[in-house]
Amino acid sequence: MMKSTAAPLLLAACAAHANPLQARSSGVQGFDISSYQDTVDFSGAYGAGARFVMIKATEGTTYIDSSFSSHYDDATSAGFIRGGYHFAHPDSSTGATQAEYFLAHGGGWTNDGITLPGMLDIEYNPSGSTCYGLSASEMISWIQDFGETYQSKTGRYPMIYTTADWWSTCTGDSTAFSEDYPLVLAQYSSSISTVPGGWAYQSFWQNADSYTYGGDSDLWNGDENSLQTFAKGS
């Protein structure tokens, strides 16, 4: 789903504070984008039934996506529920530092009903060791540092985007986040085979690396009313 400045990579799905939902191929259509998508047909996507957009905001502590503001404004004007995501670099600074950077550049959340909680894109290193040189326990601590900092500022835990393989490899399939952090699961297939980390289900599923109107395809695991409830945080 999310794109690093170094190379296109996968993103993942989020688990929500809602009634348990089953992994399924139906749901509300959405998509994710970054500056890799110069132009996006927001009105066409909305007309086709898409209702949410995840937009890259930041990466590490040195990169602000050049298209974030325009994408965010255009998505809002078209009527979408939208939110920002941060591509993590756990080898470059603390989780807290990167959460603060994300929050300072578009990654915040409010309960206005049209804003998704921020998403932490934590996945394969685009330019080095798969796990950024961190042990499983160090990676878990880094993610907790990011998440607790984000929650302390917004009142809401961020979503975690990842793949089942990366999560198993780099966190030892940690179950430490399954209760509080919604899962955005990246798995390009016609159905979901593995939900990692003790999550009972994914909240969002990045099911394909292309979407007709721009970016990657994502599905909310529920109906439009439950998506609106999720955005509201109630």
Q: What is the pLDDT of residues 41-71, one digit of tens each?
A: 999 999 999 999 999 999 999 999 999 999 9
Phi and psi angles of residue 206, each rounded to the nearest 5 degrees, phi first: -85, 100
Confidence category of residue 234, pLDDT binned at 50, 70, 90? confident
Query: What pLDDT, on a 0 to 100 scale, did the predictor assign at position 26?
Result: 66
CB-based contact 164:196 (threshold 8 Å)? yes
Say if 22 falls within a structural domain. Answer: no
Say if 23 falls within a structural domain. Answer: no
How many degrees, rounded to 5, is the angle at CA 190 between CA 119 and CA 227? 40
> Whole domain around residue 185: which residue ranges?
28-232
Q: Is the pLDDT of residue 182 over 90?
A: yes
Q: How many CB atoms lie within 10 A of CB 93?
A: 15
Give the whole-angstrom CA distance, residue 119 versus residue 11. Answer: 10
How many structural domains comprise the chain?
1
Q: What residue type is assigned to position 156 of the chain?
A: R
Phi and psi angles of residue 184, each rounded to the nearest 5 degrees, phi first: -110, 110
Say if 74 falls within a structural domain. Answer: yes
Give the whole-angstrom CA distance, residue 9 versus residue 34. Answer: 12
Say if 15 falls within a structural domain. Answer: no
How many degrees, rounded to 5, is the angle at CA 22 between CA 146 and CA 167? 35
What b-and-e string marks burial along 185-219, b requiring 16 or more CB atoms within 10 Å of the CB? Answer: bbbeeeebeebbbebebbbbbbbbeebebbbbbbb
* This prediction's pTM: 0.90
Say if 191 falls within a structural domain. Answer: yes
- Residues serving a catalytic function are 32, 121, 123
3 state SS of 142:
helix
Say if 19 falls within a structural domain. Answer: no
Say if 107 falls within a structural domain. Answer: yes
Give the whole-angstrom CA distance, residue 186 versus residue 209. Answer: 9
Say if 17 falls within a structural domain. Answer: no
Q: In this structure, what DSSP letter does residue 186 have?
A: E
Q: Which two tokens stand for residue 207?
A: 């099911």
CB-based contact 99:150 (threshold 8 Å)? yes
Q: Is the pLDDT of residue 13 over 50?
A: no
Bridge partners, residue 64, by sequence: 58
Q: Is the pLDDT of residue 146 over 90?
A: yes
Average pLDDT over residues 87-111: 98
CB-based contact 84:55 (threshold 8 Å)? yes
Q: In this structure, what DSSP letter does residue 106 have?
A: T
3 state SS of 183:
strand
Q: For the packed helices 136-154 and 95-104, what is the interaxial angle rounded to 10 degrees?
A: 40
Average pLDDT over residues 72-85: 98
- CATH number of the structural domain spanning residue 136: 3.20.20.80
**Mean pLDDT estimate for the chain:** 91
Bridge partners, residue 2, by sequence: none
